[in-house]
Amino acid sequence: MKNYVTPVRDRVPLGQKAAFGAGHLVLNLLPGALGVFMFFLLTAFGMDPFLAGLLGGLPRIFDALTDPIMGFISDNTNSKWGRRRPYIFVGAILSGILFAVLWQMDPNDSQNYNFWYFLIMSMVFLIGNTMFATPLVGLGYEMTSDYNERTRLMAFSQTIGQIAWMIVPWFWIIISDPNMLPISAEDVSRIASLGLSEVDSAKVTLEAVQANGVRKLSIIVGIACLILGVLPAFFCKGIDSANMENRKKITFSTLGSNLMDLFKGIAQVSKNKPFLKLCGATFLVFNGFQMVASFSFFIIVFYMFEGSYADAGNWPAWFSTVTAIVTAFGVIPIVTLLANKFGKRQAFIISTALSIVGYILKWWAFDKDNPYLLFMPIPFMAFGLGGLFTLMMSMTADVCDLDELENGMPRKEGTFGAIYWWMVKLGQALALVLGGAVLKFVGFDGAAVQQTAETMTSLRLADVIIPSVTAGIAILIMWSYSLSESRAKKIKEQLIERRGEL
């Protein structure tokens, strides 16, 4: 192990780490819950699949536009509470409230009404969520200037964030279980008065149960996100905005020049070669994983249990939950140790290579005779995303120092964070499209009770090959990453010599 010890002034207290981690729990819980709830647009609210697809895609385009703007605003804000915390506080409140409001739809309303209600409320929700998420990411980049403490901070926050993925898989069960979130007596009476056959009555009852479950659970999720989301605003500390030079005065009268400054900042960020490598590697690893994320569910149901959802039971949920547990309490601590001992680049290469081993092991893990083999590849696979976001967020903080050295003030943590997460969101959106294309290519029929043997073999091969190839390319990209620990520390010394400690 290295003999270097982080100075006390550069250490982030445990309370601040916990508050920052609470914010990251919200960052994971909201999109995780959104992904589950979107499915019930089809089954509970009767939305046409094409319209549901538009509701999933159009808001993402809008979100991609707002992220860099919010990053620029928070970079240039001057207040007695700092650059980021006022937005985090307001954004957390708006995110929690608007998420709950977003899902207060009625399946008895027309499809056209529900479509426009959901589309408009999605845009409003994303404004609040961007106001929370983008400054929170930027705040994390500036909470410490120490190379190793940045990794420890991001590891802690990612560990807390994984709790969301231990919970989210069970939303499927909670929403569809009439005993957990029962429908009202009025709904029961209404369905009984329709005089439907037993089969049709069961179908209508299930739709009512799911719609009720979505509405009630969204309120619970919204309240939890509001409470957890405001904690970073109260307890985390970033750079004192009074120490920042060359901030832009943001007013409506200077809107045109502000936009020009925003574009110049994005152009400067885009010329930062280490940052481009981080974005490229993230895009590949995350996109490869997300593209096949749903394949495991289909393979469990249609290959292992021959199309029986009842026999598959809770196996898909346990697969996701155990992955999150292993990531949080096994992988992230190991990745942190690797980064402290060998450096962040080397830790990324090692962890990504281990994830490839896990992806390959999936070929033998989906065993019809022994379902418990499902858990065999998880300790290796978990190194993929567990190592990715722990290390990449830490390395992005190092890149912010390099940018200040090359381009001066103001520091652009918000802009870097916005562009980095824009790449993540772009990868996720592209993964949804390409994942569907792969399913179509292999001949998968979601309406069929069973799939052909050829289809399942092709799907299993895609499940192994796609993430392995993208992860391998990401390793090649990061092989020449040049911002090492020694260089990062030298940059820090040069910055302190230039403008003192922030």
Q: pLDDT value at position 261?
A: 62
Q: How confident is the model at residue 320 (pLDDT cuts 50, 70, 90)?
A: confident
Kindly state the tokens that stand for 27. Answer: 């960052």
**What is the average pLDDT across 367-384?**
91
**What is the average pLDDT across 70-90?**
85
Kindly state the tokens that stand for 38. Answer: 């979107």
The candidate with the shortest Cα–Cα distance to 98, out of 137, 130, 128, 69, is: 128
Q: Which residue has the tokens 């500036």?
A: 142
The tens digit of pLDDT for each residue in 203-238 reads 777 788 888 899 999 999 999 999 999 999 999 987
Instruction: Say if residues 348 and 281 touch (Cβ distance below 8 Å).
Output: yes
Q: How confident is the model at residue 257 (pLDDT cuts 50, 70, 90)?
A: low
The tens digit of pLDDT for each residue in 418-452 reads 888 877 777 777 776 777 788 878 887 765 667 88
First to last CA, the chain: 29
Q: Which residues contact 12 (CB under 8 A, 6 or more apart)?
A: 20, 143, 144, 149, 152, 153
Instruction: Say if residues 373 and 315 touch (Cβ distance below 8 Å).
Output: no
Kindly state the tokens that stand for 314. Answer: 């809770």
Cα–Cα dist 467/74, whole Å: 35
Q: pLDDT value at position 1?
A: 44
Which amino acid belongs to residue 279? C
Q: Which residues contact 80 (CB under 8 A, 6 or more apart)?
A: none
Output the CA torsion 414→417→422→425 (10° steps): -130
Mean pLDDT of the chain: 84
Which amino acid belongs to residue 42? L
